[in-house]
Chain A
Amino acid sequence: MRTRGAILAGNVVAGLMLGFTVANIGFGDYTQLNRMFTFQDLRMLFSFAGAVAILIVVFALLRVRRTPGRIHAGVVPGAVMFGAGWAISGGCPAIPIVQLATGYLPALITIAGIAVGIRLCRWANGKYFRLDRGSCGL
């Protein structure tokens, strides 16, 4: 079990690295993002796929636990909504933060939308869907 200090340090270091890396790959640049999704430029696609390939090998070597995860009714519709939102706004939950740090002030609107969407999802799930959705952390 990690201490609270270790978890805080891990989050701060990982956050700094993520912001730095995402900005330098170009995920915050809408032109680059659209070129990736339309296969005009495979550089960012290879970055993401390459990272996953490295992680598969490293996690296997380190024997990092593979939590089961359950495919529930919200996975596919949620992923469709996320994919559509990412393509039109250029932001996944981390990217608008990086866009804002790069000087794109309208990214604040994307962040506001994300905040509304997240709160709306928790409210709608509690009231209507009642799905055990898990989270990134599971």
Chain B
Amino acid sequence: MTNYWPWWAGAGGLALVTITHTLATDRSFGVSSAWDRVLHWREERKIERLNDSFINEDALAEALAAATAEHMRTRPGAPASAEVAGAAPLERDSAPAAAESTPVAIARPTPVVVEAALLVSIFLGGLIAAFASGRFKLRFDMGSGFSDIVTANPVVMVCVLFVGGVLVGFGTRLAGGCSSGHGLSGCGRLRPVSLLATAVFFGTAVVVSFLLWKVI
């Protein structure tokens, strides 16, 4: 069954997904990093707790500074200019710093549970599409294309899928991104590293696909 979307609908859909995620989260969209963090959830939770403690320390320091400023302001005989010289510049300095700290590279990591929610949501979105389009069908193969082009042998299929999965998992983390992180978010931002990675993984997939189709 090939009642798939025309190219322009697909392009609009993929772009809309990336824009929605970027605007809602102020972060780049990356599925492989979500996998990475969910699979290492114990380590990631430790880091989150450590970050939380730092934030608490920052909040404590800010509270102490505010209390000191308040004390200086209410102290009898304290010059009014002291608070202007002491407190106000702190605010002026901190505002741009906060604005500059929002870039994706400096923003706090997304909580692991939120990354897990992304993966579950992808499954649910796919499930809705499969039922809505009538494509849902439980099967123990990967379809006629895989059987014709790669292998029809179930044992070989299991080995190929596993090895392919390992290559995908290892490769995306080594390259620092996948088709959504480098391909959509990175290329959309014209990041050189993403343009290079996308050209290489797409080119490699073309070569291997031709080998599977014509040679093997």
Contact = CB atoms under 8 A, between A and B. Distances in A.
Interface stretch (B70-78, B86-94, B129-137): B129-137
Contacts of B22: 59, 64
Interface string B161-202: 111111111111111111111111111111111101110111
A136 B28 contact: yes
A98 to B, nearest CB: 4
B168 A75 contact: no
B160 A94 contact: no
Contacts of A99: 126, 142
A134 B176 contact: yes
A29 B145 contact: yes
B39 interface: yes
A131 B177 CA distance: 14
B15 A55 contact: yes
Contact of B175 (A32, A74, A90, A104): A74
Contact of A83 (B150, B170, B200): B200
A81 B167 contact: yes
A6 B25 contact: yes
A127 interface: no
A138 B28 contact: yes
A27 to B, nearest CB: 9
Given A14-B24, A117-B169, A19 B121 contact: yes
A48 B212 CA distance: 22
A77 B105 CA distance: 24
B10 A80 contact: no
Interface string A70-93: 111011111111111111111111
B67 to A, nearest CB: 24
Contacts of A88: 150, 160, 163-164, 167, 208, 212
Interface in A9-56: 9-26, 28-34, 37-39, 42-44, 46-56
Q: Interface residues of B: mostly helix, strand, loop or mixed?
A: helix
Nearest to A21: B13
A135 to B, nearest CB: 4
A54 B114 contact: no
A28 B126 contact: yes
Give the interface size bracket for B toward A. Answer: 35 or more
A120 B171 CA distance: 10
A65 interface: yes
A19 B125 contact: yes
A1 B107 contact: yes
B131 to A, nearest CB: 9
Contact of B118 (A15, A43, A105): A15
A25 B126 CA distance: 11
Interface of A: 1-2, 4, 6-26, 28-34, 37-39, 42-44, 46-56, 58-59, 62, 64-72, 74-94, 96-107, 109-122, 124-125, 129, 131, 133-138
26 contacts: A1-B102, A7-B114, A11-B24, A12-B118, A14-B118, A17-B20, A17-B125, A18-B122, A21-B14, A26-B2, A31-B145, A37-B209, A48-B10, A48-B183, A50-B7, A51-B10, A54-B11, A55-B189, A78-B173, A99-B126, A102-B130, A113-B166, A124-B170, A136-B33, A136-B186, A137-B27
